[in-house]
Structure 1
Amino acid sequence: MKGLPIFDLAIIVIYLVGMILVGVYFSRKNKNSEQFTKASGLIPGWAIGLSIYATFLSSNTFLGVPGKAFGSNWNAFVFSISMPLAAWIASKYFVPFYRSSGEISAYTHLENRFGAWARVYAVVCFLLTQLARMGSIFFGIALSLQALTGYSMQMIMVVMGICIIIYTVLGGIEAVIWTEVVQAVVKTFGALLILYLIISNMDGGVSKIIEIGKSADKFSLGSFKPDFVGSSFWVVLLYGFFINLNNFGMDQNYIQRYHTASSGKAASNSIWLCVCLYIPASLLFFIIGSCLFAYYEVNPDLIASIKHQVALERLPLNASTAELLKVQNALQPSDYGDKIMPHFMVTKMPVGLVGLIVSAILSAAMSTISSGMNASATVFSIDIYKRYLKPDVTEKQNLSLLHVATVGFGLLGMIAGIAMIGVKSILDVWWQLSGIFAAGMLGLFLLGIVSKRTKNHEAVIATIIGILVIIWMTVSSLLPPEYKAFRNPLHQNMIIVVGTLTIFLVGIGLTKWKKQKAKSAH
């Protein structure tokens, strides 16, 4: 890793080797599939809570949130404000439901409720969501390390992916959870260290940061007007509530952790511990973004190299100097927000601290990717392989399958990350993709839980209509100008809100209509 001092490199290597050794340690216990996927239900609730917190606090948060705050304001923080209501619903209804079912897969009950098609649909949505999540995380970590090392983003993703795959395959869910406990501490300490370094390098200190932030409206949570076209307070609040409801209620990453807890109460408490930690932690990253904005406002000359780099990425290799300057001068803070944190690390952090911060960013990436790999492998094993390909699979074969599937999904996540190279905002891409894939899955789940009378026929029609609405909201922006009237008028973050409500309300409406029809027939 050229470009890093030996001491920083040593810290990073020690951290990576440590994570792999954790996997080796827990590999001694992984003699069956239940241990690999559920850790035999012996994990304490506080460790699960820290693990869920670490999954939320991914490199999308570590790099994307400061970049978002730098480029705009604190509007995206409203996502965190929505968490308590979703957590209350999850702890009161979802955790007892999954614990009583005894099914390790979050999607088995959909087949029992509506038929095999519902389970397959939810599994496909989940796996696509995981690939989008892992891809965005891989991209975020590569973006940061490229600035430090000069190596290609593709090479960085491959090296990091191999390390993550090794400890995840060896250690199973128990290794994932306990490494995430360590990573939760490392990444939180790293964020506090970054904040201290920015403030200590800032002429005028905290008062100057607040002054610049206020004058640039950096602390705004967005418009409170009932506007669903722009990214208003209400759009992000609704998006956050539905996404977090999906996370706590339908995402295998979290459902699987409920089964690792020693009791239902411990599982419910783990959700609240995550919420209590994540809200102030996410606020910390927005503060970091605003501090970075103030720092570069006071030191505008330092931003020139970032603009130059972004302009080079947007133009072909044979572009003229005039074209380069034109693009460079037209760039806005939102165009290069994701590159601000890596730039500050390269230019202002002393030897030793860079290694610690890189380790924190690595931990932010590794926790989310490893849990996504384990959850995806579990879903593939239970919902696809054992259900359709080989129902009589032996315990030994199933454990081998879980290992192979974990490697496979890790590789697919790397490919997705490579495909994202060049995107404008990590956070925007992740939010949009997760909203698209999660919308139908959440709507179908809520329909099955809330409306006991809804049968397969109504659910099929509601889901088809919901999918059509989601597709229209997603791609209608590509319509030519003469078809402008047919474009989606709402903000892209409203896709999960509208898609979920479409399936849920259409399903309930069809159920009531069928009931009315049956009554009138008698």
Structure 2
Amino acid sequence: MLAFLSFAGFTLLVAGIAWYKTRHAHLTDSTEGYFLGGRTLTGVFIGGSMLLMNLSTEHLVGLNGLAFRTGFIVMAWEVMAAIAIVAFGLYFLPKYLKLGISNIPEFLERRFDRDTLMITSILFLGMYVISLLPIVLYTGAIALESLFQVSHVFQIDKTTALWIMVWGVGGLGAVYAILGGIKAIAIADTINGAGLIIGGLMVTLFALAYVGNGDIWAGLSDVYQANPDKFNSIGDEESLVPFSTLFTGVIISNMFFWCTNQSIVQKSLAAKNLAEGQKGVMLCALFKLIIPTIIILPGIIAFHIFQGHLDNPDNAYPRLVQLVLPEFLVGFFAAVVVGAVFSTFSGGLNSSVTLFTVNIYRKRLKPDATEAQTVAVGKYLGLGLALVTMLVAPLVANAPDGLFYLIQQLQGIFNAPILSVVMVGLMTKRVPAIAAKLGLLFGMTAYIICNFIIKVDIHFFHLVGILFVLNVVFMLTIGYFFPANTPYEAEYTKQVDITPWGLVWPVALLIVLGSISMYVFLAQDAPQYVMYGYYVCAAIILAYVFYSMGKELMKRPELQQSTTEEI
């Protein structure tokens, strides 16, 4: 009962704050307000919303399940994500905000043609419905079933209980997304994001205290000494995530997700200016370096506690939470888990609706549609997509290599083709539209044939990397022999101030250093020359960071005024 009360209390608190913050904003009356929050988001809300759009139950359940199986080598997704986010903040975001676009396919229409926009919009819609939203709902259902024992309370089998959880959470998430728009989502995401990080850290600390009989440090030592192989960051070629894949498909997948994926990019496109957007992006990247303590370490602790014996490793995290958290905290954490599901689910629905209404409905089906008609169609579409997702969700059960790994494999269909077309579009001026369309179709078809039909004997991440390079070469070759008649010239708008944040470069370097540091210190038996090289590079980067921060600090008017008065 106490768990349920704390669950209901925190859920209502988040909903109340989101309503209060947006009650007078009228941001659901227009397409820009509904899809981009009126371009008013500040750094904290952008960073929190991006983080929670990414961090959901497919991470808490799925990635901890993979860590239960393999250990810290699965941190590749999180650590490389921080580097990809830095690249987004430094290169991609300034270009997107200058163009004044509301979604990525809109840029591809300007750069290539309307058919390219149509193809990428359909690909994004397919990705959300096939590889993201169903798995988010299903992993959320697993977590809630384990935390609240729904099947036991209502005396029903677990399959039925999971269906109930899928439809309950999915239905509420759909209402949340359809009625609130992106600003309500961003505000609730930020609160839930803080709760998820706090709650996740509590699970880790309580679990370590459980192992160490009240002593957290002793618990960590026990887990490490009993399972040293689980703490190695370097995976061999036979492992689930070989180290070599960091430089092929892992970085490509992360670049796609953080630099071109509509559901993520849309949060930063709603920034009030570039500086606030970059602050939010770097805040998200910084948190990604902390996240392994929440979505990887608990899986290893669970492996230690349960002695590696669980019928399904994807149940490791929910079982651990139920075991180590006090009852009132179980309810709070369940509320945070539901919030995380709402975030990713509602964010994915909002992005899907944006893609359809802006790129298909208003451009192909009804060009003369009013703002009110467009928003109304978007809400009906969101409801329809939610229903389809809830029907598909339970069908992803029992993935052989875990649910998170299944997501990565399915997203391989989309990430290399879309990222390659966006990058060629940004970096060239004469590659024609036909190259982009053929590149999208070739990349998607080749991956499906090679990975799912022929099943070539190569890690799917290497396949993603190879296809990305082939796609880029393919498009550049067409552009060389059949260039566009007129070069593309970007038309920059003045919708937002694009003055960059003064500290963006030093903070970016600090985050990259943190990413490398995690790999260096968790790599077992690293050569001495690697360590010496790391220390030299770290010293240079830190010196630059402190110099830049001091220089930026002296630019503040109050400091300049006090210095002048002293003189």
Q: Shorter-normalised TM-score: what interval?
A: 0.7 to 0.9
Assess if the C-alpha contact under 8 Å between 1:27 and 1:170 holds in 2: no
Structure 2 Cα separation of the partners of residues 399 and 464 of structure 1? 31
Residue matched to 2:407: 430
Q: CA deviation at 1:279?
A: 1.7
Secondary structure of 1:218's match? helix
Give the CA deviation at 1:172. Answer: 0.7
Give yes or no for contact 2:413–2:444 (8 Å, CA) kept in 1.
Answer: no
- Assess, with a 3 A threshold, how the Cα gap between structure 1 residues 273 and 141 changes in structure 2: closer, same or farther: same
- Name the structure 2 match of 1:310: none
Which secondary structure does the structure 2 equivalent of 1:107 belong to?
helix
- Equivalent position SS for 1:489: coil
Match of 1:209 in 2: 223
**Amino acid of the residue matched to residue 501 of structure 1?**
V
Contact 1:444 1:463 in 2 (8 A): yes
Q: Distance in 2 between matches of 1:408 and 1:349?
A: 37
Q: Distance in 2 between matches of 1:447 and 1:128?
A: 22
The match for 1:138 is 137
Q: Is 2:339 the partner of 1:363?
A: yes
Alpha-carbon distance, 1:200 to partner = 1.8
Aligned to 2:185: 176
Instruction: Please tell me whether the aligned partners of residues 443 and 499 of structure 1 are also in contact (alpha carbons under 8 angstroms).
Output: no
Output the aligned Cα RMSD.
2.2
Q: Is 1:289 aligned with 2:303? A: no
Quote the sequence identity (%): 19
Alpha carbons 2:181, 2:350 under 8 Å: kept = yes
Distance in 2 of aligned mates of 1:155 and 1:259: 35
Corresponding position of 1:387: 363
What letter corresponds to residue 35 of structure 2 in structure 1? T
Structure 1 length-normalised TM: 0.83
Relative to structure 1, is the Cα distance of residues 512 and 34 closer, same or farther in structure 2, using a 3 angstrom cutoff?
closer
Post-superposition CA distance 1:398-443 (Å, at most 9, x none): 1212222222222233223122123241111111111222221112
- Alignment partner for residue 64 of structure 2, among 59, 63, 66? 66
Name the counterpart of 1:271: 281
Structure 2 equivalent of residue 46 of structure 1: 44
Cα distance, 1:229 vs structure 2: 9.0
1:452-491 correspondence runs (5 A): 452-477=429-454, 487-491=455-459
1:338 aligns with 2:314: yes
Partner of 2:109: 111
Say which SS state the counterpart of residue 70 (structure 1) adopts: helix
Amino acid at match of 1:146: E
Give the equivalent residue in structure 2 for 1:396. 372
Q: How many residues align?
A: 463
Aligned equivalent of 2:243: 233
Deviation of the 1:142 alpha carbon: 0.8
Q: Which amino acid in the other structure matches residue 150 of structure 1?
A: V
Is 2:168 the partner of 1:159? Answer: yes
**1:492 aligned onto 2:490:** no
Amino acid at match of 2:84: A
For 2:491, the equivalent position in structure 1 comes to: none
Q: Is the 8 A contact 1:447 1:504 kept in 2?
A: yes
2:75 pairs with 70, 74, 77, which one?
77
Q: Does 1:444 align with 2:453?
A: no
CA distance in 1, matches of 2:203, 2:410: 29
Once residues 296 and 70 of structure 2 are traced to their aligned partners in structure 1, the CA distance between those partners, rounded to angstroms, is 10
CA contact (8 A) 2:31 2:375 kept: yes
| Map of 2:474 onto structure 1 | 506
Q: How far off is 1:22 after superposition? A: 4.7
Aligned-partner residue type, residue 118 of structure 1: T
What is aligned with 1:315? Answer: none
Residue in 1 aligned with 2:5?
10
SS in structure 2 at match of 1:469: helix
- 1:29-65 per-position Cα deviation (integer Å, ceiling 9, x unaligned): 2332221111111111122111111122111111112
Preserved CA contact (<8 Å) 2:224 2:231 = no
Distance 1:266 1:240 in 2: 28
Q: Pick closer, same or farther for the CA change 1:34–1:353 going to 2, 3 Å.
A: same
Aligned partner of 2:149 in structure 1 is 149
Q: Distance in 2 between matches of 1:453 and 1:21?
A: 51
How far the C-alpha of 1:514 sits from its partner, in A, is 4.3
Partner of 1:410: 386
Match for residue 222 of structure 1 among 234, 238, 249? 234
Q: Is the contact made by 1:134 and 1:416 (CA closer than 8 Å) also made in structure 2?
A: no
User: Which moved further from structure 2: 272-281 or 113-122?
Assistant: 113-122
- The residue type equivalent to 1:490 in the other structure is I
Q: Is the 8 A contact 1:78 1:237 kept in 2?
A: no
Match of 1:123 among 113, 121, 124: 121
Structure 1 position 146, deviation (Å)? 1.9
Deviations 1:431-456, CA, capped at 9 Å, x for gaps: 11112222211122122222322112
Question: Any gaps of 5 or more consecutive residues in structure 2?
Answer: 152-160, 213-217, 484-567
Unaligned residue ranges in structure 1 (runs of 5+):
1-5, 308-335, 478-486, 516-522
Q: Which AA in structure 1 matches 2:137? A: F
Q: 1:466, 1:500 within 8 Å by CA — same for their partners in 2?
A: yes
TM-score (norm 2): 0.77
Query: Which residue identity does 2:81 align to in structure 1?
Result: M
- Contact map agreement 2:133 2:345 (CA 8 A) in 1: yes
**Cα distance change of structure 1 residues 279 and 15 upon mapping to structure 2, 3 Å threshold:** same
User: What is the CA–CA distance in structure 2 between the aligned matches of 1:82 and 1:348, rounded to whole Å?
Assistant: 31
1:20 Cα deviation (Å)? 4.0
C-alpha deviation, 1:236, in angstroms: 4.1
Does the CA-based 8 Å contact 2:105-2:121 persist in structure 1? yes
**1:27 and 1:372, CA in 2 relative to 1: closer, same or farther beyond 3 A?**
farther
How far 1:285 sits from its partner (Å)? 2.3
Q: 1:252 to 1:461 in 2, by over 3 A?
A: closer
Shift of 1:460: 3.6
The residue type paired with residue 233 of structure 2 is L
Once the two structures are superposed, what CA deviation does each residue of 1:75-99 show, in whole Å capped at 9, x if it has no partner? 1101222234323332222112211
Deviation, structure 1 residue 274: 0.5
